[in-house]
Structure 1
């Protein structure tokens, strides 16, 4: 139902009522006009306040997200860690799609089945870790890298795990864990050459 124009205000039962309409009465007097103007002003103020509150919430959300990332990186959030990932692809041909990873290079002939786009494994597997140098050996002790810490995921929905392995020169060392991805390895101990 449309509200009458002018200074008419539809209100619950009040004095000075002229017409009864479904339990409400039209009030025509100066007090009604003032009440209506006040109500509309309050409604405008409320709308402005809600809009301002929305902007404030959006701003605080962005600041909280930025702060959370910093707090995670600083190690101040229990159960969460920050991982910096980096990569390199020194040669991507024109008009060729390739990811930024060591296997994405387009230099030279590619082995059959090689993808320039990194494809995430669908099943976890144990991995063989080896070196190109016989001096990277922890038993017997060699002059290069001796032990490694491996960081990775056992599936795509759980937290990162790690394990330490002792290198065996150019021979394979099988990981104890199954991984869908190993994203980092760190040399823990090394011999006198410290070159890898």
Structure 2
């Protein structure tokens, strides 16, 4: 199978040298799980030296371990590759939990910030809508017509009906008004200011 072919490929001296080079340069990738890194290192160690000691294997495991896990695993000082794997996976799980919690907190903060910004952004629109609504209400109540559209002067002194065409006055009444408005004139002496019955000139006749 694949394992036999893999071992056969690396059994020659050149393949063994390649495995040794690979082992010295192998680094755990940022997104690589500990179990994948550990498995690859252990395979390379077996290819380079099937009888490699645990101390040497640990050296290779430490050499390429991610820096975010290195300090905590070193603090535990595992004595075997299996203990190393156990400690490294434990720290990896803790890191994942912390990262997830931090991401969740950041998402909440971002949502709160976005909500706050949207509220600030919407408030002028809301104020404008309220102003427009109030303006509409005032206009519907004739507020603007009273304040900003001055009425003609005659509306202040005359009945509004005066703005329409004046009522038709009968001709006889109009003549009577016009007659009464004339100054008093005596038809005997033609002087103004008295009637004929009071005319002094007539008495002289």
TM over 0.5: same fold?
no
In proportion to residue count, which structure has more helix? 2
Greater Rg over alpha carbons, structure: 2
TM-score bracket relative to the smaller structure = under 0.3
Quick one: higher RCO (CA 8 Å, sep 6+), 1 or 2? Answer: 1
Give the TM-score taking structure 1 as reference length. 0.27
TM-score (norm 2): 0.26
* Structure with greater strand percent: 1
